[in-house]
Structure 1
């Protein structure tokens, strides 16, 4: 199957985690687009959805799914989103679509994170995919220097990217993140950092992995 077909497969498989008459957390990205389409076509009754990006909000609104603000809910049964990388413990790298801060906010509301991805995203060690870090613009150069000195990572500003929060994205190459929780905890404390694209505190509970043999379920 093509990568697009694998994304469709896992998007449909994620419907099993959507409880009728609940509020579902929805991420962003091309794989999540497939889930949104499947959700709209499924006929599953929902109270609404909390979206992590303008892109997903617009797509769901056009398909008739009611959108709620994160401030309107106290918790969510599930948050369904993709990943740029996921390791064998459920830690992820996210932010390729520049929505990592809002993704982490919605993920933090959820009882369980359901990751949907194709098998190319499963890795032994996070870091091959350039790690996104959302930063306040005036801190970008300072954070980049610190990443180089502390971890040997080469950080570059993502050209032309302004996030939904009016911030910038540093993409960091050359990392091997062997302690995702420690990395996330440390870098999150640096002045000017809004969000680190390592999802360790909000790691996946389940990954639905699209493979040539079908959907493989990984539980963490």
Structure 2
């Protein structure tokens, strides 16, 4: 279900993995590294995609987090401030990235032996906890091909079902066609079970 609801990175196999952390908030994003909430707000106002990188976040960082495409922290877990705010805002986040050291004076982030400077591009996958150097392609969230097969099976089995389905909602509130077909299959299955049909 996570794959249906959130964007993902398109990996090529030769991707430059910088660090792994805890998958704190699902989704994927790319952007340039910023080391402060103020810098995130400044670049985001110019239309830049940014990834806020910090040892940890505080309530004072919330405006910058909301302006960022993603958040990366060196400490904290899935219940940390960064994780909770990112999930609430629908932003991808990786927390507790091992070996991440932020040097504000030098404007750098160290991942073990690797050094990334503020302004360098990174790509983050909040579903797997992986952070890559450079700008990777991001796939838009949407139903996978396997879902079409499942829906075709549900449509083919619709004739086996007894019972009635509820009146459809008004056209203005109807979901997308693939979501409606999943819902219809669930309703039909419930109706058939209630009426003792197989």
- Normalised by the size of structure 2, how large is the TM-score? 0.25
Greater relative CO (CA pairs within 8 A, separation 6+): 2
- Normalised by the size of structure 1, how large is the TM-score? 0.23
